[in-house]
Amino acid sequence: MAEFERLVRQAVEELPAEFREMLENVVVAVEEEPEEEDYEETGTPDDEELLGIFRGPMRTELSFDGLAGLPPQVVVFRGPILRCTSTNREAVREIQDTVRHELGHFFGLEDGEMPY
């Protein structure tokens, strides 16, 4: 798990500086497997792997009213990514793509608007 978490941190660190600076209060976490609620939230069929999820308000929806709430969270699921890849190189690429995709949701993009 530690190596996988390192690869996720590396994916965030490799983002352009102007994007990293906007992630100050965003939690990027690794979980082993998605929960049933994650599948329901994303509309992912049970027979497909869910590689990551964005939880919380998008950057465009953040409130500055002084009320503390849970921070936005990007979660990368270790089990599904390892099952979907057969080499370390593929896993690294999938981690990078998943982190970027889920952060795209933080910046207000829907799935169809993602640049890849």
pLDDT in tens, 35-80: 999 999 999 998 999 999 999 877 766 555 555 567 899 999 999 9
- The alpha carbon of 8 is separated from its chain's Cα centroid by a whole number of angstroms, namely 9
pLDDT at 86 over 70: yes
Across the range 28-40, mean pLDDT stands at 96
What's domain 2-59+76-113's architecture?
2-Layer Sandwich (3.30)
Where along the chain do its domains lie?
2-59+76-113
pLDDT digits (tens, 9 = 90+) for 96-116: 999 999 999 998 888 888 776
d(CA 17, CA 76): 21
**pLDDT of the residue at 52:** 97
d(CA 85, CA 107): 27
Are 64 and 25 a contacting pair, CB within 8 Å? no
d(CA 70, CA 11): 23
Angle between helix 2-13 and 88-106 (nearest 10): 50
CB neighbourhood size of 54 (10 A): 21
pLDDT digits (tens, 9 = 90+) for 4-20: 999 999 999 999 999 89
